[in-house]
A and B are shown apart, each in its own frame.
Chain A
Amino acid sequence: MQDFTRRTLLQGGTALAATGMLTGPALFDFAKAWAQSAPWKAEPGAKLTVMRWKRFVPAEDDAFNAMVAAFKAATGTEMNVFSESFEDVQPKASVAANTGSGLDLAWGLHTLPQLFPTKVLKMNDVADYLGNKYGGWTDAAAKTCKQGNDWLGIPVATNGGYMTYRKSALDKAGFKEFPKDFPSFLEMCKALKANNTPAGFALGHASGDGNSWLHWVLWGHGAYTVDQNDKIVINSPETAKALEYCKALYESFIPGTASWNDSSNNKAFLAGELYCTANGISIYVAAKTDASKKELTQDTYHALWPVGPVGKPTELQLALPILAFNFTKYPNAAKAFVAFMLEKENYEKWLDGAQGYLTQTLNGYESAPIWTADPKNAVFSQASKRTLPAAGIGTVGEKAATAIADFIVVDMFANYCTGTKDAKGAMAEAERQLKRIYR
């Protein structure tokens, strides 16, 4: 656990210096004015302990810390911020919920607030305030945080992943632009393979990459793990079609994708062995910051996920919701902080710092400067709009999160694509595993 003030000192005053650099005293002025007029007045002597996921982009962390510092200065709230790796956020938040102490706010992944709906502070007023002010919430973001009419948390942002490809390879394969539907996407992958400039998507136990593209294939064919009533419907003709399609794709991939984890496609793409994959913006950002990869950077483009036979986008993007616990002694300070983070003056700079790694969940930020700063960033602005909630069409919550974490869909596709099982066997195994989770 790091105390915010100590952290500030340790990092050579990075946070404060960053505030100075990024925003100048203007941010403090804004924060002061905001604190005066905001609907939530932080309790005097309030103290908030905030847990967040560990940043991937240093500039994002700096922007976040600058907001924290401004909030602290304007409201007098003592802020104690510490970060945990992706895997540790949920267990730690669960323990806090269970013991009723230790944390006031937790910024986590997926459907975190749904895991303990009775332990969170209802955020209806914050959601209404922000929604009204900034053009409303995207559908998936709202579903991720809502239970009935109650907001269990606030969907702060989405971490989007999109098609990342080498334009020269596509040109050579005869594709002027990135395919928009499934058949032409398959054609493109085959053509890329024929030119020895293959595509590749992870079929191994890659929690981020594997799950996102395979759910896209599954949902794109109108197949789901469970229906609206959480009845298991994986064993269906639609799933069979998705399996066939995926196998055809798999055969056109660079060899070895069954062993890939989350970093494999980044490595292969940056080494110039892979010409099309799906990933967060990190591949492009890494190429951009590496002087020796100038050519690769110029040749790298992003595209939306093609739309499947269902006729609407079926992406799976990573939601990043924040929640406050109802046992916090300072509910107003907690609400004020969440609302403060998502105000335009803060949020747009924050998105800037994240370099495309974070996407807004409020429609009003679609015009944020980050999306036009580099035309190649633009597709990432769609992440919150084009994603389905992690549960597909089923109930958002613990069981859906477990099914994803347990690689049920990934294993089903991998079983069929690698020839370990036939379609029936692969679907039966997935069905059996889902029954275990949805029992």
Chain B
Amino acid sequence: MADVAIPRAKPQMSEDNAWTQLKHNRNWLGFWFMVPAMAFLIFFLAYPLGLGIWLSFTDTRIGRVGHFVATENYEWLWDDSIFWLSVFNTLLYTFVASALKFAIGLYLALLLNENMPFKAMLRAMVLIPFIVPTVLSALAFWWIFDSQFSIISWSLKHLGVINQNINFLGDTTWARICVIFANIWRGVPFVAITLLAGLQTVSPSLYEAATLDGATRWQNFRFITYPLLTPIIAVVMTFSVLFTFTDFQLIWAMTRGGPVNATHLMATLSYQRAIIAGQLGEGAAISSAMIPFLLAAIMVSWFGLQRRKWQQGENND
């Protein structure tokens, strides 16, 4: 077709050609199919994240545009003892709560995987703490641990075990125990049900074979269940750690970070400084400071998930 065309029409032709080419280019088409997902991710994830990081380098206050102050917010945080206390609290909270959630969740999952009466109902019941809105359960715990009206103190007093209310949320150690307990109560169902789903993918024939070979129950668990469950464990624990690390509602409803900041997590401190006290820039710096920790948690599971050793057992590199 090109050889019969007059020279003047040539550019037109080549444009047509490029367009036709583009039309039949699968990558180009693929790009357009990806656009909605990309737009979604950019607007709802990348943009807020970028904005948060940008804010942390400014002195923005609520309702007022700030100026770029470079790393000033971070410099102030660097020797801010309350900030470091909140980092310590967050790590303690995440580590203890996640470890216990894993232990209890795995135990529950193994239990629920057995054949027993009312299996379906029991499994559904385990989910209850997860279904109740966090704020409601937090308020319930707030009453349970109230300094004057605690049901626990009341019961123990009437049983004659103690003669004064336990200072649940007023004592730093007790307060930490209480909020961690509430978090575990709330987080166990997620771990348990997900691990249970994982357990059910393990073929019963493996256990049969192992039992025929004379394996004990412990060996069954150690050499069949555990290796086959590791990929699920990696995913579940990553999510669990992320949720626990960024927890806000439980703390805010129960203690507001008190007593004397003993339960202030990075998320609650960030909210207190950014929204309550109005210093958006500084609050953003605190929440941005959470990113390295969260990235580390994600990296562990990401690289872990790529290793076949994790997925398919010890000796399968």
What are 9 contact pairs spanning A and B, CB under 8 A? A116-B64, A256-B148, A256-B165, A259-B167, A264-B148, A274-B148, A433-B80, A433-B82, A437-B279
CA separation between A411 and B272, bound complex, in Å?
A: 13
Question: Most B CB atoms within 10 A — which of A415, A420, A436?
Answer: A436
Instruction: Say yes or no: is B300 at the interface (Cβ < 8 Å to chain A).
Output: no
Residue on A nearest B279 in the bound complex, by CB: A402
Nearest CB of chain A from residue B272's CB, rounded to whole Å: 7
Q: Is the CB of A256 within 8 A of B172?
A: no
A271 at interface by CB-CB < 8 Å: yes
Whether, in the assembled complex, B129 has its beta carbon less than 8 Å from a beta carbon of chain A, the answer is no
A-side contacts of B64, CB under 8 Å: 94, 98, 116
Q: Is the CB of A205 within 8 A of B277?
A: no
Residues 197-236 of A at the B interface (beta carbon under 8 Å)? 203-205, 207
A93 at the interface (CB under 8 A from B): yes
| B62 pairs with A94, CB closer than 8 A | yes
Q: Which residues of A contact B276 (CB under 8 A)?
A: 87, 207, 405-406
Binary flags per residue of B266-298, CB closer than 8 Å to A gives 1, else 0: 000000110111110010000000000000000
Q: Please tell me if the beta carbons of B149 and A256 are within 8 angstroms of each other in the complex.
A: no
Starting from the known contacts A87-B276, A91-B63, 17 additional A-B residue pairs (CB-CB under 8 Å) come to A94-B63, A115-B63, A204-B170, A204-B259, A254-B147, A255-B167, A256-B148, A259-B169, A261-B256, A267-B149, A268-B148, A405-B272, A405-B278, A418-B171, A418-B259, A433-B82, A436-B80
Asked whether, in the complex, the Cβ of B172 is within 8 Å of the Cβ of A93, the reply is no
Given contacts A254-B148, A256-B147, A256-B165, contact A93 B170 (CB under 8 A): no
Residues of B within 8 A of A (CB): 61-65, 76, 79-82, 146-149, 164-165, 167-172, 175, 255-262, 272-273, 275-279, 282
B256 partner residues in chain A, CB cutoff 8 A: 204-205, 261
Chain B CB count within 10 A is highest, among A259, A402, A437, for: A259
- A259-B63 in contact (CB<8A): no
Give the Cβ gap from B305 to chain A, nearest Cβ, in Å.
Answer: 40
Chain B residue with the shortest CB-CB distance to A206: B256
User: Which residues of chain A have C-beta atoms less than 8 A from B65's C-beta?
Assistant: 98
What's the nearest-Cβ distance from chain A to residue B263, in Å? Answer: 10
B170 touches A258 (CB 8 A): yes
Query: Which of A95, A207, A255, A432 has most chain B Cβ within 10 Å?
Result: A255
Cβ 8 A contact of A271, one of B76, B148, B167, B278: B148
Cβ of A257 under 8 Å from chain B: yes
In the complex, the 3 A-B pairs of residues with the closest C-beta atoms, listed nearest first: A94-B63, A256-B147, A259-B169
A414 is an interface residue with CB less than 8 A from chain B: yes
CA A358 – CA B147 in complex, angstroms?
A: 30
Decide if B170 touches A255 in the complex (CB within 8 Å).
Answer: yes
Residue of A nearest to B268 (CB): A205
- A90 adjacent to chain B (CB < 8 Å): yes
Is there an interface contact between B62 and A203, defined as CB atoms closer than 8 Å?
no
Consensus secondary structure, chain B interface: loop
Given A94-B63, A406-B277, are A259 and B255 neighbors across the interface (CB < 8 Å)?
Answer: yes
Tell me if A414 and B277 are in contact (CB < 8 A). Answer: no
Q: Any chain B CB within 8 A of the CB of A439?
A: yes
B76 touches A439 (CB 8 A): yes
Name A265's closest neighbour in chain B (CB-CB).
B148
Give the distance to chain B from A369, nearest Cβ to Cβ, in Å: 37
CB pair B275–A203 under 8 Å, yes or no, is no
Q: Does A244 contact B (CB under 8 A)?
A: no
Which B residues are in CB contact (< 8 Å) with A274?
148
Which chain A residue has the least Cβ–Cβ distance from B272? A406
Q: How far is the CB of B273 from chain A (nearest CB, A)?
A: 7
Q: Which residue of chain B has its CB nearest to the CB of A404?
A: B277
| Bound form: Cα–Cα A115–B277 in Å | 12
| A84 interfacial contact with B, CB 8 Å | no
- A406 near B168: Cβ-Cβ < 8 Å: no
Give A166 to B4 CA distance when docked, in angstroms: 107
Chain B residue at smallest Cβ distance from A257: B170
Complex contact B277–A405 (CB within 8 A): yes
In the complex with contacts A259-B170, A402-B277, A432-B80 CB distance below 8 A: yes
Taking CB atoms and an 8 Å cut-off, the chain A residues in 90-138 that contact chain B are 90-91, 93-95, 97-98, 115-116
Residues of B within 8 A of A436 (CB): 76, 80, 282
CB distance from A407 to the nearest CB of B (A): 8
**Interfacial chain A residues near B147, Cβ < 8 Å:** 254-257, 259-260, 264
Chain B proximity of A121: nearest CB distance (Å): 17
Cβ contacts A379-417/B at 8 Å (1 or 0 each):
000000000000000000010011001110001001100
Q: Are B80 and A93 in contact (CB under 8 A)?
A: no
- Closest CB in chain B relative to A321 CB, distance in Å: 17
Which chain B residues lie closer than 8 Å to A420 at the CB level? 172, 260, 262
Q: Are A414 and B259 in contact (CB under 8 A)?
A: yes
Known contacts: A91-B62, A261-B256, A271-B149. The answer to whether A429 contacts B81 by CB under 8 A is yes
Q: What is the bound-complex CA distance between A414 and B169, given in angstroms?
A: 13
Q: Which of A55-89 contact B (CB under 8 A)?
A: 87
In the complex, residue of chain B having the shortest beta-carbon distance to the beta carbon of A115: B63
Q: Is A345 positioned at the interface, with any CB of B under 8 Å from its CB?
A: no
User: Chain B residues near A91 (CB, 8 Å)?
Assistant: 62-63, 275, 278
